Amino acid sequence: MSRRLLTLAIVIVVSAAAAPCAAQSNSAKGFGPLDPSAPTGTTVEQIIQRMGEREAEFEQARNQYEFRQTVKIDTINDDTGRPDGEYEQVTDITFDPTGKRMEHVVFAPQNTIERVILTENDMNDVKERIPFILTTAQLPEYNLTYLGKERVDELNTYVFDCAPKVLVKGHRYFQGKVWVDQQDDEIVLVNGLNVPQDTRRGHEDLSPPFTTYYQQIDGNYWFPVYTKEEGILHFAAQNGAVSQDVHMLATVKFTNYKKFNFHSNIKITYGNDTIAPGAQQPSGSSEQQPDSQKPKP
C-alpha cells in the first residue's frame, strides 16, 4: 500500500552548537503528542533490530535507482532577509552501460558565496548523511534511546534519540532524532546535526541542523526526498578581524527516482553478431548448442 509524502512544516534556525532538535515540539504542525509509554506487542530491542534489517534492504534497493539531486545553499543577510551569496548544483545520479554508478552535472551556475567556504565534508554530507540510512551494520556505532510513540502527519511512528557512541577521527556521524514508521520499520523523518563539528579558531568546519523528509517510492521503501538545513554558524575572531555569525540556508531535493534496469543493457554475442536479450539467435550462427540443450528425437 502506498502512502503519501510527509507534509510537515518545520523551520529550524538555531546555533550549530545548540540542541539540534529544539524546533521539534508537540505544537509543531503535523506532530501529535509524544506518548512515552513502552511499545505494545514488541520490545524496543526488536524494533531496532527490525529497523536495521529493513534499512539494510533499503540501502541496497536505493543503490539500484537513478535520481536527480538538486543542492541549493544560500548565505542570508539578516538585515534584508535576502541571500547575499548562493551555490547551486543539479546532478543526475545514474549508471553507465556497465552498471557503474556515475554523476552527471546538468546545471551549475557560478558560486557567489563569499562569507564561508564549502568544504569536502559539506559535499559528502549531501551524499552520505543528509539522506540518513541506519542499517544493521551501522547500529553498533550508535546509541539509540527510545523516546516514545508519536503521530507524525498520517503515520504512527516510534521516536528515538540517536547519537554516536564514539567519534572516530576522520569519520562523520548523525546526531539527533529519528522517526521510525511502526508499519514499515523504516526511518521516515530525521532531525539533527552532522558531527563532529570543528570549532577550532581558524579551522572552523561547521554545518547547520537539518531535517530530512522521506516518501514511499514504488509502494515499498521510504526514500529521502527533501532536506532543509538552516542555522547560524559562529566563526571566532582571528588576525584582528571580528567574529562573524553567518546565517546559512540550504535545501537538497532528491527527485525522479527510477529503478535502473541492469539486465536491459546486457548484450549477447553469437559469433560476430550482437543481439538483445530474448531475441532469436541469428540464422547461420556457428555456435553449437550444448548436448543438454539439443532437442530430443
Tell me the pLDDT tens digit for each residue of 152-175. Answer: 999 999 999 999 999 999 899 999
Whether the bond between 140 and the residue before it is cis, its omega within 30 degrees of 0, is: no
Tell me the pLDDT tens digit for each residue of 116-155. Answer: 999 888 989 998 889 999 999 999 999 999 999 999 999 9
The answer as to whether 296 is a domain residue is: no
Contact call for residues 195 and 175 (beta carbons, < 8 A): yes
For residue 291, the model assigns a pLDDT of 47
Distance between CA atoms of residues 52 and 187, nearest Å: 10
Tell me the pLDDT tens digit for each residue of 258-273. Answer: 999 887 654 545 455 5
Tell me the pLDDT tens digit for each residue of 202-253. Answer: 788 899 999 999 999 999 999 999 999 999 999 887 766 667 899 999 999 9
Question: Residue 278 pLDDT more than 60?
Answer: no
| Chain-centre distance for alpha carbon 185 | 17
For residue 9, the model assigns a pLDDT of 40
The answer as to whether 6 is a domain residue is: no
The answer as to whether 166 is a domain residue is: yes
For residue 4, the model assigns a pLDDT of 38
Q: Is 138 helix (H, G, I), strand (E, B) or coil?
A: coil
Distance between CA atoms of residues 136 and 124, nearest Å: 21
The answer as to whether 285 is a domain residue is: no
Give the CB-side neighbour count of residue 146, counting CA atoms within 13 A.
16
Tell me the pLDDT tens digit for each residue of 184-207. Answer: 999 999 999 999 998 888 788 899
* Span 19-26, average pLDDT: 40
Mean pLDDT of the chain: 84
Nearest to 54 by CA among 224, 187, 217, 215: 187
Show the domain range for 249. 14-264
Tell me the pLDDT tens digit for each residue of 49-66. Answer: 999 999 999 999 999 999
For residue 236, the model assigns a pLDDT of 83
Beta strands in 133-199 (DSSP E): 142-152, 155-164, 173-181, 187-195
- b/e map of 108-119 (b: 16 or more CB within 10 Å)? eeeeebebbeee
Contact call for residues 271 and 285 (beta carbons, < 8 A): yes
The answer as to whether 281 is a domain residue is: no
Tell me the pLDDT tens digit for each residue of 65-85. Answer: 999 999 999 999 999 999 999
The answer as to whether 128 is a domain residue is: yes
The answer as to whether 2 is a domain residue is: no
For residue 111, the model assigns a pLDDT of 96
Nearest to 115 by CA among 81, 76, 71: 76
Q: How many domains does the chain have?
A: 1
- b/e map of 193-205 (b: 16 or more CB within 10 Å)? bbbbbeeeeeebe
For residue 261, the model assigns a pLDDT of 87
For residue 273, the model assigns a pLDDT of 54
The answer as to whether 168 is a domain residue is: yes
Contact call for residues 176 and 19 (beta carbons, < 8 A): no
The overall pTM is greater than 0.85: no
Distance between CA atoms of residues 93 and 78, nearest Å: 35
For residue 200, the model assigns a pLDDT of 84
